[in-house]
Amino acid sequence: MSHALHNDTLEQQRLLAKYCRDGVEPQLKDVTKGRLHNYRRLVFGVVREALSITYPLTVNLLTAKEWTVLIQEFFESHHCQDPQVWKMPFELIEYAEKNQPVLTKKYPHLIELLNFEWKEVEYYMMPDEAFPKESTTDFWNERWVFNPESEILNLSYPLHVKNARFISITDRGQYFCLIFRQPKTFKVKFLGLSPFFAWLITAIQNGQTNISDLLPTIKLQFGITDVEQLKQNIHPFFNKLCADGMIISSK
């Protein structure tokens, strides 16, 4: 049996959806006079709340007027592509990048900030990954076994360590931030990384190797020759990653 909606019903739905976006009241059948505006108010309320919850740092960065205008214009002119409400805020990023030149010029870190905040949502909502059965005990001679629900973010602004309101174009540079989801609490964690530790994690992951075997490369690329001092510098970092659930440890 076919359950396809009648063309007239589809048209009524399209007109109602358009009204919810732009506020221009259409001619709809069997609508109680004076109540149509409630649909627009309720739908916009859902959109506004979803965007505000997803992007609290951006809300704090922009003025109240800038944020209101941004989400109002997004609501009115953007046709969302995904039926899932929690994914809808992602579409604000491309919309802002293409349609908000004044904002992106005033706040050069705006698009990166939106992507940074959305990344946290993705990690909260991501499907569970299969964790490896092996673990790491010896931080120096064994390959570090990492949490598969993780990645290193390469940022142009220090979004992970500095209030976005106090970031300017002078802060532009190269920053590294580790994001991962803790296996027991499912909390999403951000950890700033030095260029060396960002390189070290990447090298271990890509080379399936351990620090001891990486010593020649470390000496060549970073000029580090004091092995004992290197061990003292790396060991606390390793312990922190183990405690936070980024490294699968047998300790």
pTM of full prediction above 0.95: no
Taking the domains of the chain in order of start, what are their residue ranges?
Answer: 7-125, 150-244
CA distance 93 to 65: 18
Q: How many angstroms separate the Cα of 98 from the Cα of each of 74, 78, 89, 103, 105?
A: 11, 11, 15, 11, 12
Q: How many angstroms separate the Cα of 109 from the Cα of each of 55, 89, 186, 189, 246?
A: 14, 18, 28, 21, 28
Q: Residue-wise over 20-36: b if at least 16 C-beta within 10 A, else e?
A: bbeeeeeeeeeeeeeee
- What is the edge-to-edge ordering of all strands in the sheet holding 188-193? 150-155, 175-181, 188-193
pLDDT digits (tens, 9 = 90+) for 14-67: 555 666 566 556 665 666 665 666 666 777 788 899 999 999 999 999 999 999
pLDDT digits (tens, 9 = 90+) for 125-154: 999 999 999 999 999 999 999 999 999 999
- The per-residue pLDDT for 182 is 95
pLDDT digits (tens, 9 = 90+) for 182-224: 998 999 999 999 999 999 999 999 988 999 999 999 999 999 9
